Amino acid sequence: MNEKVVLVTDFTWASTEPEAVELTGVGGRLLLAEEGSEVELLRLVPEADAILTCFAQVTPAVVRAGKRLQVIGRYGVGVDNIAVEEATRRGILVTNVPSYCLDEVAEHALALILSLARRICAYNGAVRAGDWRLEVGAPIHRLSGQTVGIVGLGKIGRTLASKVSGLGMHVLASCSSRQARAEQDVEVVSLERLAREADVVSLHVPLGDETRGMIGEAFLRQMKPTAFLVNTARGALIDQDALLRALHEGWIAGAALDVFVPEKLPPEDPLLACPNLITTPHVAFYSEESVLELEVRAARNVAAVLSGRRPESIVNPEVLALDRWGHLR
């Protein structure tokens, strides 16, 4: 069996042993990038038959340099860090793992909603500073009877809807026509109505041309001054300059973000100084169980392609029309 080289651009977990095990059966050998920069990937990719990538940018130049590439596998759902169009032009399959960490992301969004509504971070900081006054977090209102607006009614959005419905919250959803099927306890509305009526807005849409910057000044000014914004999807969905103004000027009561642009905000970024903002470091996907599932399923997709089998999920199925992929149709 000829050795197949799988370039791992980056990962955030302790070990790539699960990937190595999955790829052993197809003669796969992992080649681990040290920093995942374009310069490094351009140097390494010519010897790669496949790529596994988490957050690193697999640019058009990297794709073009991968003369042996058969497949680019994403550790995750979104593929906005991969030059999918370039891969498609070159007949390279792009795979992802679209149905992992559903509970984790929904639970994280719910935790942020509860933290905002109950002023958990404000009270925690006050108590540690010796301030035990109730007024630190006042006013607080019960969540039961309030309205959650879910932007994007995919699998994660639906999972969150079921969880907040259990708290007695009314659920509005704005979604594409493809997603707009009847859902128990969910009312599908326009994005504008959702902005006006929701007490909490939670984002669960992929990043693309239509969604980039969709939460900007116009949307934020429509929200209630008592409302909260939660983002566990992609940082670029939000115009961060507009959000900074909204938090400073009281257009909304607060926000909680797990994702940013850039991925890691510099410590001096003014957003981080907002007292009405809760931040977490892009960890909504994380549990020990979900990471193991992600590693195995992403590697299994790559292993399938390298061994002539159809992977679980193909982002660009149009490439299957090419003769080289006739066996996967």
Residues acting as catalytic residues: 234, 263, 282
Q: Is the bond preceding residue 139 a cis peptide, omega within 30 degrees?
A: yes
Please report, in angstroms and rounded to a whole number, the separation of the first and last CA atoms in the chain.
24
Is 78 within 8 Å of 55 (Cβ atoms)? no
Q: Report in angstroms the alpha-carbon separations of 3 from 8, 56, 303, 305.
A: 16, 25, 12, 14
Please give the DSSP secondary-structure letter assigned to residue 233: S
The whole-angstrom separation of Cα 153 and Cα 158 is 6
The whole-angstrom separation of Cα 214 and Cα 174 is 12
Please work out, in degrees rounded to the nearest 5, the angle formed at the alpha carbon of residue 15 by the alpha carbons of 304 and 7.
45
Which residue in 79, 329, 116, 126 sits closest to 227, CA to CA?
116
